[in-house]
Amino acid sequence: MNHYKNMKKTYWLFLAPVLVSLLLVIVLPFIYGIYTSFTNSNGLTMSFIGLTNYKELFSDQRFLESISVTFWFSIISVLLVNIIGLALGLLVTSIKGKFATFLRTTFFIPNLIGGVILGFIWQFIFIQAFSAIGSATGIPVF
């Protein structure tokens, strides 16, 4: 039982920095944003006005239209992406032979290209950085 308590303390010790960072970077700004939404703020001073900002926001026709467009765009795009992906997946798995291998390769190549391009970018960055360090310090290793 004592070993279990020590392990639990160790877990919390490792989790503490992440939880503190999460609190400082996400939770506190979120709460502050909610509080600020109930005020009339000009950047220097704040005065509490209650739900006035929300009443004004939900009475604005352009805001309501933008919410409607965003909602329908999200629904349609999620449905289309999933339906098209499922259809193409079923198509590729139902075909047999060399053409199926070609299709699988064709669908998988875009997943590889991003990593390859990223590798070239980092290689370029490091070659430029280390050659600059080598010329600045005179050390031939760089």
pTM above 0.85, yes or no: no
DSSP string, 46-93: EEE-TTHHHHHHHT-HHHHHHHHHHHHHHHHHHHHHHHHHHHHHHHHH
Task: Print pLDDT tens along the chain (142 aa).
Answer: 687 788 888 899 999 999 999 999 999 999 999 999 999 988 889 999 999 999 999 999 999 999 999 999 999 999 999 999 999 889 888 888 888 888 888 888 988 999 999 998 888 887 777 777 777 777 776 5
As a whole number of angstroms, the distance between CA 43 and CA 121 comes to 40
